[in-house]
Amino acid sequence: MKLEVVRVIDNEGQVVHPEREPRLTGDEHRKLLHALIRIRMIDERMLRLQRQGRLGFYVSTFGEEATHIGAAAALRTSDWFYSAYREVGAALYRGYSLRTFMCQLFGNAEDPVKGRQMPVHHSVRHLNFVTVASPVATQIPHAVGTAWAAKLQHKDDVAVAFFGDGGTSTPIFHSGCLFAGLYKVPAIIVCRNNGWAISAPRSVQTVTPTFAQKAIAYGLPGVLVDGNDALAMVHVVGEAAARGRRGEGATLIEARTYRRGAHSSSDDPSVYRDPTEPKEWEARDPIDRYRKYLLRKGEITAGVEATWRDEITAEITDALRYAEAVAPKPPLRTMFEDVYADVPWHLEQQYEGLRAHLARHGEKPLDK
Nearest to 315 by CA among 93, 86, 97: 97
Dihedral, CA atoms, 340, 341, 346, 349, nearest 10 degrees? 120
Q: Counting Cβ atoms within 10 Å, is residue 339 exposed (0-12), middle (13-18) or buried (19+)?
A: exposed
Partners of 256 in beta bridges: 193, 226
Report d(CA 267, CA 129) in Å as an integer: 26
Report d(CA 289, CA 296) in Å as an integer: 11
24 vs 32, 231, 253, 282, 293, CA distance in Å? 10, 10, 22, 26, 13
Report d(CA 309, CA 194) in Å as an integer: 27
Backbone angles phi, psi at 221, to 5 degrees: -75, 140
Count CB-CB contacts under 10 A for residue 358: 15
Say how many CA atoms lie within 13 Å of 38 toward its Cβ.
Answer: 26
Among 99, 122, 259, 284, which one carries the catalytic annotation? 259
The SS3 call for residue 92 is: helix
Residue by residue, DSSP assigns 197-251 as: ETTEEGGGT-SSS-SGGGGGGGT--EEEEETT-HHHHHHHHHHHHHHHHTT---E
Q: Any catalytic annotation for residue 272?
A: yes
Among 20, 263, 284, 291, which one carries the catalytic annotation? 263
Q: Are 185 and 250 in contact (CB under 8 A)?
A: yes
Q: Any catalytic annotation for residue 263?
A: yes
Nearest to 162 by CA among 44, 70, 33: 70
Among 126, 272, 321, 357, which one carries the catalytic annotation? 272
Nearest to 31 by CA among 80, 87, 72: 72
User: Which residues are annotated as catalytic?
Assistant: 259, 263, 272
